[in-house]
Amino acid sequence: MIKLTERHLEKLAIITELPLEKVTEFDTMGLFDSARAVELLIKYDWKLLKRQQKKYTAHQRIMAIANEYNITEHRVKQAIYTKRVMGYFCKKCGMPITKVEHSRNRGLCEKCTIESIKIQ
Ligand SMILES: [Zn+2]
């Protein structure tokens, strides 16, 4: 779980169109699903960084976001490139997953599914 900073909360206020005081209050109350909040932040940052696509490669921009939230490159890509209509999250680690992954892996993400394979 990521501790959201002041700046992250400011961005969430913009994304959700809620006043910053409300967002901060919700965060303090623990109402934010952290995985979903981070996914929204990644999408937002990615959109902002698009303006710098002549200056930096896609990989550089993805890694900058990964560093910002201290998460893996894979998770950034998943947030950017996965179009989700409904929210599905891995029941073990809480990472956002696609509908296909959700039904194929019985509610687990790719990584947790692999970890759950027992080699005799
Ligand atoms: Zn998982």
How many domains, the chain? 2
- pLDDT band with cut points at 50, 70 and 90 for residue 98: confident
Rounded-to-integer distance, Cα 12 and Cα 18, Å: 8
Q: What is the pLDDT of residue 117?
A: 93
Same domain? 70 vs 120? no
Same domain, 57 and 67: yes
Residues 107-119 have pLDDT tens digits of: 898 999 999 999 9
Tell me: do 105 and 50 sit in the same domain. Answer: no
120 versus 67: which is more confidently predicted? 67
- pLDDT at 90 > cutoff 70: yes
Judge if 14 and 65 occupy the same domain.
yes
- Is the same domain home to 10 and 62? yes
**Which domain range does residue 4 map to?**
1-81
71 CA distance to ligand 1 middle (Å): 13
At residue 1 the predicted structure's pLDDT band, cuts being 50, 70 and 90, is low
Considering the domain architecture, whether residues 41 and 70 belong to the same structural domain is answered as: yes
Contacts of 46 (CB under 8 A, 6+ apart): 61, 65, 76, 79, 80
The protein residues having their C-beta less than 5 angstroms from ligand 1 (an ion) are 90, 92-93, 109, 112
